[in-house]
Structure 1
Amino acid sequence: MYYGGYYGGVGGTWFLILMPALLLAMYAQLKVTSSFNKYLRVQSGSGYTGSEVARIILDRNGLHDVRIEQVGGNLTDHYDPRSKVIRLSRNVYNGHSVAAVSVAAHEVGHAIQHDEGYFPLILRNNIAPIASIGSRFVWILILLGLVISPFLIEVGILLYVAVVLFQVITLPVEFNASKRALYQLENGIVYRDELDSSKEVLNAAALTYVAATLVALGQLLRLLSIFGRRRD
């Protein structure tokens, strides 16, 4: 009866968190897309492309062994710590815009974190494989648990906890990368009056991570509610 009472209370809580979080996630995606597209049309005064900015910052920080590659898609930019490669989408790699140089600098921020052994990044990278498994198989385990045994629901919940932890740890990692990016940009790469535009692009991107964290938390509470009802 203890489990039923506790998780029964969770049942109402997950809805109150998940629904606003989903709305925030939709808004955040629209915001990052609109901000990126807006400043994709604003040329940076320096004239550098995103790939050139990435190379400048990497070399400035002694990261000569980190490669830069172009990748397909839109807003698919990322740093791969296993291969030590920064992958930039076409609009960022070849673009001269404020959006391009801002996103490129942000990804280099992750490379600098990796080089310095930034602990939240290391922790996130270690949790990532478990989180990937959790996000793929959680609902399969939940459905099997409803039919076979509540134990499988518990396993699914434990795996999904890794997803939530991954999202939570992502917040300081992304905010720190943006902080590093702005520091690098203001030191001889963009003009001072362009920094506010860069901040708008990076802040819009950060909002998507906040929304993703809240969605993950709401989903976890939802899983706990399902487990509570199954135990009853």
Structure 2
Amino acid sequence: MSFNAFMYILIIPAFILTIWAQFRVKGTFKKWSEVPVNSGITGYQAARHMLDTHGLHDVQIVTVPGTLSDHYNPVNRTVALSEDVYYGNSISSVSVACHEIGHAIQHQQAYPMLALRHKIFPVVNFASGVAPFLILAGFFFSHTLIGLGILFFAVTVIFQLITLPVEFNASNRAREIMVSEGYITNEEERGVGKVLNAAALTYVAAALVALLELIRLVGIFNSRD
């Protein structure tokens, strides 16, 4: 069996895992969005309280369209929550909202991995767009272009790997604060864990696919050398 065929055998299951992870996070979010928290607090209220208790009064919370489109923007220091999360008082809504505030707290405390991700983001944004064209051009023109494209692609893989501890850390911060501040009860923490772990799995699967693809590209490069 050739190296390339072997890598495809690994990548295909990883790609299937990515698709399954996407379905799982949506299914888990929907399931726990039907379970209200005992405190009755909404995603917005939990997020605002969490920000204020950490001195982040200047961080704004806005609504954005879509489902699971929630994110923290470190440039304008804004937390964007989807309408279901913003207005909802379910375990899913409060979990997702507090997770995004976890990123805002990371930013405030200069969490090293988040700071590193922010620094390399402009490079990654450029590299991810250029890498496929360089690799494709390398097959027709110069072997060197393939190597250069792989280097650019490697930057995007590193970015995805750095994202993993950032996401897990934000979730851990959120869970601790949600319990300590009374947003959820200890019994409700199980549902919170289900929601946050399902979301984290999507990042793990994406990073795995990217890493395997990088290994495959390196193998192709070496075989043509």
Whether TM-score is above 0.5 comes out as yes
Question: How many pairs were matched up?
Answer: 224
CA deviations 1:11-55 (Å, max 9, x no partner) are 355324312211211111111111001011111111111111100
Residue matched to 1:4: none
2:97 alignment counterpart: 104
The alpha-carbon deviation at position 99 of structure 1 amounts to 0.2
Aligned 8 A contact 1:131 1:162 in 2: yes
Deviation at 1:225, TM superposition (A): 2.8
Number of the residue aligned with 1:217: 211
1:115 partner letter? Q
1:91 is matched with which residue: 68, 84, 87? 84
* Residues 1:57 and 2:57 are matched in the alignment: no
Residue 72 of structure 2 aligns with which residue?
79
Higher RCO structure (Cα 8 Å, ≥6 apart): 1
Which secondary structure does the structure 2 equivalent of 1:220 belong to? helix
Q: CA deviation at 1:134?
A: 2.4
Q: Which amino acid is 1:161 matched to?
A: A
Structure 2 gaps, min length 5 = none
Other structure's SS at 2:161 match? helix
State the distance in 2 between where 1:228 and 1:90 align: 49
Unaligned runs of 5+ in 1: 1-7
Partner of 2:172: 179
Q: How does 1:18-57 map to 2 (within 5 A)?
A: 18-57=11-50
Distance of 2:9 and 2:50 partners within structure 1: 43
Question: What is the match of residue 195 of structure 1?
Answer: 189
TM-score by length of 2: 0.95
Partner SS state of residue 197, structure 1: helix
Q: CA deviation at 1:10?
A: 5.0
Match of 2:8 in 1: 15
Bigger mean CA deviation after superposition, 218-227 or 88-97 = 218-227
1:119 paired residue number: 112
Question: Structure 1 vs Structure 2: percent identity of aligned residues?
Answer: 46
Counterpart check, 1:205 vs 2:199? yes
Whether 1:128 aligns to 2:121 is yes
**Partners of 1:91 and 1:16 in 2: how far apart?**
39
1:92-114 residue CA offsets vs partner (Å, 9 max, x unmatched) = 01111110000000000000000
The offset of 1:133, in angstroms, is: 2.1
User: Alignment RMSD, CA only?
Assistant: 1.5
* Structure 1 stretches of 4+ moved >4 Å: none
